[in-house]
């Protein structure tokens, strides 16, 4: 199953509360929402969490929360503590709202090597995982792949962190992965390799993903997200791989067009599935014709 949704309250939503966003997402025929707590709103600035969770559940909306982009788990003691406190805060909110995933970035490497960073992060995230378990928080912490070389979050770094901290899950940001991997996601096989990698190393059965276009600066580094139609990653390839392998996927649109591109990639997926069904029907019809001809000859 694939669930599509935007990263935030839909742009077209008349109201600007999370409640309005959930109801609007349902009206658009989407089934996921990632609440963007990117500025670290205080609890009293948000809606009634438990009621929101009930509404989302009744409308079959998968809920997730994205922590602020300024998370810095490898910074000085103050920043590490602040980042940990916010994930604790997000876990409390997420548990009340019925969220199943809390998405976070790690932040810059600063002066640490990749190996040093991993060794620092493992005990921090084990402690955070235990914090969630002790309080019976429902969401799992998801660590997002990054696109810039100064940020922790390569495919292998995130995988090792998830291997060593049981319960931690990877967040596959396809635009970031494309940028950091020298723009290599350009056919079905490249997408399949990513799924195979996570299945082999983490035995994942469900995949939480972000998708958008991506623009690059003259040096080939990731500049910013772009609408899907303007990006060089073809969603058709990804949709084919997901459908052919029956992956269970949450697909969040990070595009500047948010829900519009969530609906667009949903439409692409429906078209890909329609073509798949047509091919199956043609093969079955051809086989029936072959069998009829064979029977006629034998008669």
pLDDT for residue 189: 95
Backbone angles phi, psi at 64, to 5 degrees: -145, 165
pLDDT for residue 46: 55
Domain layout of the chain by residue ranges:
2-298
Q: What percent of the chain has pLDDT over 90?
A: 73
pLDDT for residue 255: 94
pLDDT for residue 299: 65
Helix axes 259-298, 235-245, angle to 10 degrees: 50
SS3 95: helix
Residue whose tokens read 């970035």: 105
Task: Fold for 2-298, please state it.
Answer: TIM Barrel (3.20.20)
User: Which residues of the chain have a pLDDT value below 50?
Assistant: 40, 42, 44-45
pLDDT for residue 220: 64
pLDDT for residue 278: 81
| Token code pair at residue 31 | 């089934």
Per-residue pLDDT of 26-85, as tens digits, reads 999 999 999 988 654 545 445 588 889 999 999 999 999 999 888 999 999 999 999 999
pLDDT for residue 45: 46
Buried b vs exposed e over 189-227: b needs ≥16 C-beta within 10 Å? ebbbebbeebeeeeebeebbbbbbbbebeeeeebeebbb
């Amino acid at each position: 199953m694939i669930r599509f949704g935007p990263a935030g309250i839909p742009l077209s939503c008349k109201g600007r509360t999370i409640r309005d966003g959930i109801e609007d997402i349902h009206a658009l025929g989407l089934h996921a929402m990632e609440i963007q707590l990117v500025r670290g709103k205080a609890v009293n600035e948000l809606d009634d969490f438990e009621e929101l969770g009930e509404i989302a559940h009744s409308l079959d909306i998968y809920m997730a929360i994205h922590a602020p982009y300024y998370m810095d788990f490898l910074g000085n003691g103050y920043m590490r503590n602040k980042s940990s406190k916010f994930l604790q805060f997000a876990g409390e909110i997420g548990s009340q709202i019925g969220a199943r995933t809390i998405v976070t970035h790690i932040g810059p490497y600063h002066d640490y090597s990749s190996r040093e960073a991993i060794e620092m992060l493992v005990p921090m995230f084990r402690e955070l995982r235990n914090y969630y378990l002790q309080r019976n928080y429902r969401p799992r912490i998801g660590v997002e792949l990054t696109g810039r070389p100064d940020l922790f979050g390569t495919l292998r770094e995130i995988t090792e962190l998830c291997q060593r901290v049981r319960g931690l899950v990877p967040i596959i940001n396809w635009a970031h992965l494309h940028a950091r991997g020298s723009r290599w996601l350009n056919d079905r096989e490249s997408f399949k390799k990513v799924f195979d990698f996570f299945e082999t190393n983490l035995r994942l059965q469900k995949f939480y993903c972000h998708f958008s276009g991506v623009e690059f600066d003259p040096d080939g580094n990731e500049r910013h997200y772009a609408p899907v139609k303007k990006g060089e990653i073809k969603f058709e390839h990804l949709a084919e791989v997901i459908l052919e392998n029956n992956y269970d996927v949450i697909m969040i649109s990070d595009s500047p067009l948010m829900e519009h591109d969530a609906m667009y990639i949903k439409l692409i997926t429906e078209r890909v599935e329609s073509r798949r069904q047509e091919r199956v029907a043609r093969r079955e019809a051809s086989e029936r014709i072959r069998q009829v001809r064979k029977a006629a000859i034998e008669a």
